[in-house]
Amino acid sequence: MSDDFRARARAWLAANAPRRAAGDDEAEAESRGQAAVIAEQKAFQAKLHAAGFAGITWPKEYGGQGLTSAEQIIWSQESAGYDLPTGVFFIGLSMPGNTLVELGTDAQKRRYLPKMLSGEEIWCQLFSEPGAGSDVASLQTTAVRDGDEWVLNGQKVWTSGAQYSDFGAILARTDPTKPKHNGISMFIVDMHAPGVTVRPLKVATGHSPFNEVFFDNVRLPAGALIGEENKGWDAAVVMLRHERIAIGTMGSSRTSPLAFSTLRDLAAGLGRTADQGVRRELAELYARSRAVQLFALLLREETQAGRLPGARGSVAKLAGSDLGRFAGNVAADVLGDQLAAFDTAELAAVSTAIVAAPGSAIAGGTSEIQRNIIGERVLGLAKDPGVDRATPFNQLRVGTQREQ
Amino acid sequence: MSDDFRARARAWLAANAPRRAAGDDEAEAESRGQAAVIAEQKAFQAKLHAAGFAGITWPKEYGGQGLTSAEQIIWSQESAGYDLPTGVFFIGLSMPGNTLVELGTDAQKRRYLPKMLSGEEIWCQLFSEPGAGSDVASLQTTAVRDGDEWVLNGQKVWTSGAQYSDFGAILARTDPTKPKHNGISMFIVDMHAPGVTVRPLKVATGHSPFNEVFFDNVRLPAGALIGEENKGWDAAVVMLRHERIAIGTMGSSRTSPLAFSTLRDLAAGLGRTADQGVRRELAELYARSRAVQLFALLLREETQAGRLPGARGSVAKLAGSDLGRFAGNVAADVLGDQLAAFDTAELAAVSTAIVAAPGSAIAGGTSEIQRNIIGERVLGLAKDPGVDRATPFNQLRVGTQREQ
Amino acid sequence: MTLILTDEEVALADSVRKFVADRSPLTSLRQIIASGEPFDAGVWKQMTAQLGLAGLTIPESYGGAGAGYSALSVALTELGAGLVASPLLGCLLAAEAVLRLGDDTAKQELLPKIAAGELIVTLAVASSAGGQVTASGAGDGTVLTGTVSPVLNGAEADVLLVPADGTDGKAIYLVQGGADGLARTRLTAVDHSRSLARITLAGTPARALAGDAAAALAAAADLANLALAAESAGAMKACLDMTSGYARIRVAFGQPIGAFQAVKHRLADMEKSFELGYAALRDAARAADEKPGDFPVAASVARVLLASAYAEAAVDTVQLHGGIGFTWEHDAHLYYKNGLSNKVLLGGPGEQLDRLADALGI
Amino acid sequence: MTLILTDEEVALADSVRKFVADRSPLTSLRQIIASGEPFDAGVWKQMTAQLGLAGLTIPESYGGAGAGYSALSVALTELGAGLVASPLLGCLLAAEAVLRLGDDTAKQELLPKIAAGELIVTLAVASSAGGQVTASGAGDGTVLTGTVSPVLNGAEADVLLVPADGTDGKAIYLVQGGADGLARTRLTAVDHSRSLARITLAGTPARALAGDAAAALAAAADLANLALAAESAGAMKACLDMTSGYARIRVAFGQPIGAFQAVKHRLADMEKSFELGYAALRDAARAADEKPGDFPVAASVARVLLASAYAEAAVDTVQLHGGIGFTWEHDAHLYYKNGLSNKVLLGGPGEQLDRLADALGI
């Protein structure tokens, strides 16, 4: 059965999927136009689904393949050498999708899951807020009951794909008199509903890979609640677990401009590799990069052997962010003043990657949060002395507000 | 007046005081014998006092010179080039001495200050405890009232000079039902009293520069209290302020085995300075060492201009500890495997200094505590979320005790 | 020689700080980015004509203020704090080279106009990876061929001073901005506040300046170290203030984030690095005026420490602000890019440490 | 090739760990310090005769177990965790050199006795600052002159293998411990668990071994990297466990100190560095057995990462224990000194990175 699946997967990929290459999704979208990229990805996802390789572990009645994690692992192994054009579905399938499989009602699953898998509908995830940051549970977006429905107001930020998404999974506060974790609910929101405004968010690199999303009296219908009312934090924990797994097993599809081989070639081209210090820095970059790859490999081997990585996934994320910062410093040292100004695409890519590097130590949980997770859940250290877990949310100071 | 004082000081120093040299107090005491060193220092302190250069700002009625901080600064400037053999008096004069001047009763000042100045009696300071560490106020030594007297029981640690001290200033808990800062008192304890046991404390280097001191039903007479009962923490704050000033203005009298010039010479001797990396590391060590010296100089200039350094003294302490760790790494890099084993005094000194370096990031307030002080008092950041400032001491967990 | 500022220096710092706040706040850097101009010409006019900043180290006999290097470093610290875009650094290095060369004609011709802000002059120097220039011919027939990149304000300069190797060794040559065979390509600079260009010379007419070129270039390199250290100190202090301020008001988990040691201790380390670097900067500035023999080492020390410390502080500024610090609208990235650029301009950390090691006789 | 341990490797780790706990806990290292002996001869006998640790990588035909490098690294990790003092590392390097040389007489003469723990053999190599040796004469008249320092167990070794430059280039020479003109001075070692000596040869009789000396020395250097990485990984894990354990039970300011981010985040970084280094160690161990062509780079990577990470972790272990961690009676300093020594033995970080850069073709 498994061998058969592997053979099928291998054959289909060879016939249908493009191989990995260097490059940058952002740049590709800018040069080809986003609409074209999305149309192509929708078509590919439909083909993937039709061939039986989408939703491998999801139930058949919701459009999945009804197979086991063994087939999922085989698929990951076989597809590792390809660059599947399914990026716009990544968030929806791995986060809201998996969460709906776990917590959704039968009606929700029948309505939404098949169209996710077939590429007809794209989803996003709406957790972060300007005032919440690392303290996700202090979110201020509200959903107020109005009969069977809810009325949604507030602002989300750092939303990837909001500009082309059809639906989103959103956290909103439904009871501000309860302590912060206990008054939150999760909903499905139609991103085309009246009152939803999506604005691109420009970041330090000058690109806009994220959005801000504003909700102004957006009505959520009766069936929009995911899980139970005021139990949204539990649903969020489920979704964040799926997020960690997704990010941990994602791998990178392109060669980074801050990779050892890229910087070595650039340094050699500038005649800088005769410098003993440059040689040592490049060697150290190789060692550190290699260790990050090897640790990810070790975690995958452990997972396949039945030992789940748990919070050690945070070690991988932290190590990746630290490596980005280190690589940026190496780039500055080995390229010297040639990095201060340039007119080649190679140096521009290095420069953009250095400017983007701090983003990875912030997005998806800051390095500070990762260190807390590692300290508490891997090493068993005591939690931070917290004073806000029992305080009613409406008596809590949040973000940069002087008073609530 | 000031010019006259400067001229007198300069002349006396030139005639009586030895010049600075390289070396190590510890080694000196070991080779010459401690008794000889103490006898010599007592004699020198007596001479210094007789000449009018001890207790410069202390009142005349208690043996001081009754002069101002202007003369004190002049003395510091003039004596900077000398290595005065008064080390055993340093702690007593700068900490318990200055605290008694500020908080002592008239009787205490008449009894103790003149003999401190004349070198007849040596003092130590007894704050640290095995269970207290950075959280000094959680100390467990107790002083229980018995009529007009108190009975002292407990253990102190990291006490410099306890083995040759005549008296000590000690903190003890006098009311365990109050929150930890509010039930402490400060006392004078006779180090020769029955029930006082001093034991040398051997540290990582193999030397014993500190002591443990045990108190077993030691009776403190009626006049032993410094300041008010249960206000010992206020007295401790006064003493710690004097400690910071003393350490900040102390300067080092010897050349460190981890100093730039020492390591450069050793590296050159081993033929290692042809290595570009070694050259860069030594240059960086020079830069960092120089900055630490310059910052101390800047603080002194500001002080002389009437701007007190306050908590920025903690920046100097932190910077010094960090430099020690950095210098240790440089030493390992520039000396390579020649540092792994040796039979020369130079390499032995480097090795001992590296092993000793972490001590400076712990003693006198850990680097973590210094960073808290800098964050809170220099940068105005919020205090750590503390939960123990209002809890009665006897309901508090302390040290490594599971339960109080 | 004292490290603390004199009353005159405090007054100068105050007036430059006020000028920056009034005439060149960070919003104006954003306007410069949007316009594509290298700097605000009106601001530059005021910086020179009104504040006399280009002439602080030029003797009064050549139209400058003769105020010295410590005053200059005080002004640059404030300009650095505000990320003020201007051709000042290029002009300072060019003026220093001309002063040290001692070529009377060049001094008369260039220094008064630099001081007055009437002429933008730059020194076309870069690291060894940035190309090289050779000279041939003689007298009026002297021409230069080669490339230098990146050159401060190379695209806008009215006059460029170009070090080149000729048959008689290295000399510094004067090239007019509009000379034949001179191609100037403005490059994409990491730092939005610097205008940098590649200059390519192909048989470009040039005039050799008299004097010791090596000594002049060494003096300019020392001054560059002092200037970049001063600008970095100011910018680093701005990062420290901005981030501490945010840590005092931003609340998470029921606490101002400055209560968390991950934030508090990072800021304490930033304060420490700033204080150490600033002390080294003051030492270098004083040495330049009072103990020139100590200046090369002192300037190297200040640059090495502050370039790294500022670059680290700027990353931490982004990090400790979290998501908002990574947005285009927040100022953190402006400092981050400036910090990166200041670290590598005219030679990165490794080259700076080599220079220091040489100066220390290691 | 998988990174995770096989069942056999887990069993080996368990048995070595149990052996260390029973026969060589840290209290026995303190006895060794007090006695002045280089190691506990009884423990060494059991390590070799009973556990066969000296023969793990020696083929069965020469009396070893032929178990391979991954098994060896697993055992060394446990020995490193316990700071077990023994002449194992010197013997391993000597055996590796002999195996690679392929001198049949030497193999027959030395390997079975090394495997059985009957002969202590060491390889007399050090960094270039550690001296050099030249060979002269020929055949039975071959003599060596020069110095090498520090040499692992140089004072106790029954036989020393000494690389020396002769008229035909570099070769490895066999010198008997009691040879004429051989002076062995045991040095003060930073690390209490290592015995290191300076050896001085003055016309000392020696026998040249046949084979490619450069290849043999390179192989020994790679094995040294693997071995020191493995020992460091074990010791670093011991530091991490000891310090996390303390942070869970030591209370200050009303909290277990692990609740403070200054402690928690330092330990999280230590965990991160350990995990990364350990993954690199596993890769190197597997490569040694299964992809020898990748071994030099992989072993360098593991050593470079773990040597630094462990040394840092050991300082942090002292620091996070506070005062108690700085006392002689606490074990932290034993790891601190071992970490320092592991970082520099047979070449410090710079030399290791140079070696890696060469291997990577930078």
| Beta-carbon separation of B355 and D185 below 8 A | no
Q: How far apart are CA C81 and CA C235, in angstroms?
A: 4
Residue closest to D351 by CA, chosen among C174, C147, A280: A280
For residue A23, pLDDT beyond 90: no
Q: How confident is the model at residue A256 (pLDDT cuts 50, 70, 90)?
A: confident
| Beta-carbon separation of B204 and D322 below 8 A | no
Here the CATH number for the domain that contains residue D65 is: 1.10.540.10
Domain that holds residue D159: 121-212
Query: What is the mean predicted confidence (pLDDT) over D149-165?
Result: 98
Q: How far apart are CA B178 and CA B165, in angstroms?
A: 32
Any D CB within 8 A of B160 CB: no
Q: How confident is the model at residue B240 (pLDDT cuts 50, 70, 90)?
A: confident
- Residue C276 is predicted with a pLDDT of 98
Residues C60 and C138 in one domain: no
Q: From the candidates C250, C272, C304, C354, which should be mutated to test the interface with B, based on the most B CB atoms within 10 A?
A: C272
- Residue A96 is predicted with a pLDDT of 96
Q: Distance (Å) from the C-alpha of residue D170 to the closest C-alpha of chain C?
A: 32
Q: Which of residues 178-197 of C touch A (CB under 8 A)?
A: 185, 187-191, 194, 196-197
Any C CB within 8 A of A273 CB: no
* Least confident segment among A347-361, B74-88, B121-135: B74-88
| Beta-carbon separation of A368 and D301 below 8 A | no
Residues D166 and D279 in one domain: no
Here the CATH number for the domain that contains residue C282 is: 1.20.140.10
Kindly provide the ipTM of the predicted complex, given to two decimals: 0.95
How many structural domains compose chain C?
3
Of C246, C262, C343, the CB nearest to A368: C262
The residue among D116, D140, D174 that closes a domain is D116
Return the higher-pLDDT residue of C29 and B311.
C29
Active-site residue among B71, B78, B243, B281? B243
* Domain-located, residue C2: no
Query: What is the mean predicted confidence (pLDDT) over A53-80?
Result: 90
Residue positions counted in chain A: 404
Any D CB within 8 A of C265 CB: yes
Chain C residues in contact with D261 by the CB 8 A cut-off are 260-262, 265
User: What is the overall mean pLDDT for chain A?
Assistant: 91
For residue B350, pLDDT beyond 60: yes
Q: Distance (Å) from the C-alpha of residue B284 to the closest C-alpha of chain A?
A: 13
User: What is the overall mean pLDDT for chain B?
Assistant: 91
* pLDDT tens figures, D254-273: 899 999 999 999 999 999 99
Any D CB within 8 A of B403 CB: no
Cβ–Cβ under 8 Å, residues C240 and C267: yes
* Residues of A labelled catalytic: 243
Q: How confident is the model at residue B404 (pLDDT cuts 50, 70, 90)?
A: very low
Smallest CA–CA distance from C127 into chain A, residue: A337
Query: What is the mean predicted confidence (pLDDT) over D103-127?
Result: 97
| Beta-carbon separation of D248 and A382 below 8 A | yes
A-to-D residue pairs, Cβ atoms closer than 8 angstroms: 131
Cβ–Cβ under 8 Å, residues B56 and B2: no
Q: Identify the chains in contact with A, defined as 3+ C-beta pairs within 8 A.
A: B, C, D
Q: How confident is the model at residue C19 (pLDDT cuts 50, 70, 90)?
A: very high
Q: Distance (Å) from the C-alpha of residue C264 to the closest C-alpha of chain D?
A: 9
Residue closest to A97 by CA, chosen among A12, A168, A185, A24: A168
Residues C74 and C142 in one domain: no
A-to-C residue pairs, Cβ atoms closer than 8 angstroms: 157
- Residue A1 is predicted with a pLDDT of 56
Residues C264 and C183 in one domain: no
For residue B254, pLDDT beyond 70: no
HSE toward the beta carbon, residue A364, CA cutoff 13 A: 22
Of C127, C246, C336, the CB nearest to A336: C127
- Residue C31 is predicted with a pLDDT of 96
* pLDDT tens figures, B23-49: 556 666 667 788 999 999 999 999 999
* Domain-located, residue D2: no
Q: How far apart are CA C134 and CA B29, in angstroms?
A: 66
Residues D191 and D220 in one domain: no
Q: How far apart are CA D340 and CA D349, in angstroms?
A: 11
* pLDDT tens figures, A314-363: 999 999 999 999 999 999 999 999 999 999 999 999 999 999 999 999 98
Q: How confident is the model at residue A77 (pLDDT cuts 50, 70, 90)?
A: confident
Query: What is the mean predicted confidence (pLDDT) over A180-199?
Result: 97
Cβ–Cβ under 8 Å, residues A392 and A404: no
* Domain-located, residue D254: yes
Coil, strand or helix: which one is C336? helix
Query: What is the mean predicted confidence (pLDDT) over A210-217?
Result: 97
Residue closest to B230 by CA, chosen among B133, B143, B130: B143
- Residue A28 is predicted with a pLDDT of 66
Query: What is the mean predicted confidence (pLDDT) over B121-147?
Result: 94
The residue among D162, D183, D212 that closes a domain is D212
Residues C222 and C191 in one domain: no
Q: Distance (Å) from the C-alpha of residue D273 to the closest C-alpha of chain A?
A: 8
Of A282, A291, A301, the CB nearest to D301: A291
* SS (HEC) of chain A: CHHHHHHHHHHHHHHHCCECCCCCHHHHHHHHCHHHHHHHHHHHHHHHHHCCCCCCCCCHHHCCCCCCHHHHHHHHHHHCCECCCCHHHHHHHHHHHHHHHHHCCHHHHHHHHHHHHCCCCCEEEECCCCCCCCCHHHCCCEEEEECCEEEEEEEEEEECCHHHCCEEEEEEECCCCCEHHHCEEEEEEECCCCCEEEEEECECCCCCCEEEEEEEEEEECHHHEECCCCCHHHHHHHHHHHHHHHHHCCCCCCCCCCCHHHHHHHHHHCCCCCCHHHHHHHHHHHHHHHHHHHHHHHHHHHHHCCCCCCCHHHHHHHHHHHHHHHHHHHHHHHHHHHHCEECCHHHHHHHHHHHHHHHHCCCCCCHHHHHHHHHHHHCCCCCCCCCCCCCEHHHCCCECCCCC
- Residue D104 is predicted with a pLDDT of 96
- Residue A63 is predicted with a pLDDT of 96
Q: How confident is the model at residue A247 (pLDDT cuts 50, 70, 90)?
A: low
Long-range CB pairs of D106-115 (<8 Å, 24+ gap) are D106/D174, D106/D209, D107/D62, D108/D62, D110/D159, D111/D58, D111/D59, D111/D62, D111/D63, D111/D64, D112/D62, D112/D63, D114/D54, D114/D55, D114/D58, D115/D48, D115/D52, D115/D54, D115/D55, D115/D58, D115/D62, D115/D63, D115/D64, D115/D65
Tokens of C190: 């990491």
Q: Identify the chains in contact with D, defined as 3+ C-beta pairs within 8 A.
A: A, B, C
Chain A residues in contact with B277 by the CB 8 A cut-off are 276-277, 280
Query: What is the mean predicted confidence (pLDDT) over C36-41?
Result: 96
Residues D260 and D314 in one domain: yes
Q: Which of residues 100-159 of A touch C (CB under 8 A)?
A: 128, 130, 133-135, 138, 157-158
Here the CATH number for the domain that contains residue C180 is: 2.40.110.10
Q: How confident is the model at residue B22 (pLDDT cuts 50, 70, 90)?
A: low
- Residue A404 is predicted with a pLDDT of 38
Return the higher-pLDDT residue of A25 and D234.
D234
- Residue C43 is predicted with a pLDDT of 97
Residues C197 and C246 in one domain: no
Residues C140 and C62 in one domain: no
| Beta-carbon separation of C304 and B302 below 8 A | no
| Beta-carbon separation of C265 and D260 below 8 A | no
- Residue A403 is predicted with a pLDDT of 45
* Least confident segment among A61-70, A249-258, B5-14, C329-338: A249-258
* Domain-located, residue C355: yes
Residues D201 and D225 in one domain: no
- Residue A363 is predicted with a pLDDT of 87
* pLDDT tens figures, C198-231: 999 999 999 999 999 999 999 999 999 999 999 9
Chain C residues in contact with A367 by the CB 8 A cut-off are 319
Q: Distance (Å) from the C-alpha of residue B304 to the closest C-alpha of chain D?
A: 35
Any B CB within 8 A of C5 CB: no
* pLDDT tens figures, C67-84: 999 999 999 999 999 999
For residue A136, pLDDT beyond 70: yes
Query: What is the mean predicted confidence (pLDDT) over D224-232?
Result: 98
* Domain-located, residue D159: yes
* pLDDT tens figures, A352-394: 999 999 999 998 889 999 999 999 999 999 998 876 777 888 8
Any C CB within 8 A of B322 CB: yes
Which pTM value belongs to this model? Answer: 0.94
Q: From the candidates B270, B337, B342, which should be mutated to test the interface with D, based on the most D CB atoms within 10 A?
A: B337
Residue positions counted in chain D: 362
* Domain-located, residue C1: no
Task: Please say whether the dihedral angle defined by the alpha carbons of residues B299, B304, B308 and B310, taken in this order, is positive or negative.
Answer: positive
Q: Distance (Å) from the C-alpha of residue B366 to the closest C-alpha of chain D?
A: 8
- Domains of chain A by start residue, with CATH: 2-85 (no CATH), 125-230 (2.40.110.10), 249-378 (1.20.140.10)
* Domain-located, residue D1: no
* pLDDT tens figures, C226-252: 999 999 999 999 999 999 999 999 999
Of A277, A386, A387, the CB nearest to B277: A277
Q: Which of residues 53-72 of A touch D (CB under 8 A)?
A: none
For residue C331, pLDDT beyond 60: yes
| Beta-carbon separation of D354 and A279 below 8 A | yes
* Domain-located, residue C203: yes
For residue A257, pLDDT beyond 50: yes
Residues D165 and D241 in one domain: no
Q: Which of residues 224-243 of D touch A (CB under 8 A)?
A: 240
The residue among C82, C116, C150 that closes a domain is C116
* pLDDT tens figures, C81-98: 999 999 999 999 999 999
Smallest CA–CA distance from B274 into chain A, residue: A276
For residue A245, pLDDT beyond 80: no
**How do A123-126 and A167-173 pair as beta strands?**
parallel
Residues D59 and D110 in one domain: yes
- Residue C281 is predicted with a pLDDT of 98
If you write DSSP's letter for every residue of C164-206 in order, what string do you get?
Answer: EEETTEEEEEEEETT-TTEEEEE-EESSTT--EEEEEEEEEE-
Q: How far apart are CA C155 and CA C183, in angstroms?
A: 9
* pLDDT tens figures, D269-321: 999 999 999 999 999 999 999 999 999 999 999 999 999 999 999 999 999 99
| Beta-carbon separation of C268 and B368 below 8 A | no
The amino acid at residue D2 is T
Query: What is the mean predicted confidence (pLDDT) over D197-225?
Result: 98
Q: Distance (Å) from the C-alpha of residue A17 to the closest C-alpha of chain B?
A: 48
* pLDDT tens figures, A39-49: 999 999 999 99
| Beta-carbon separation of D327 and B128 below 8 A | no
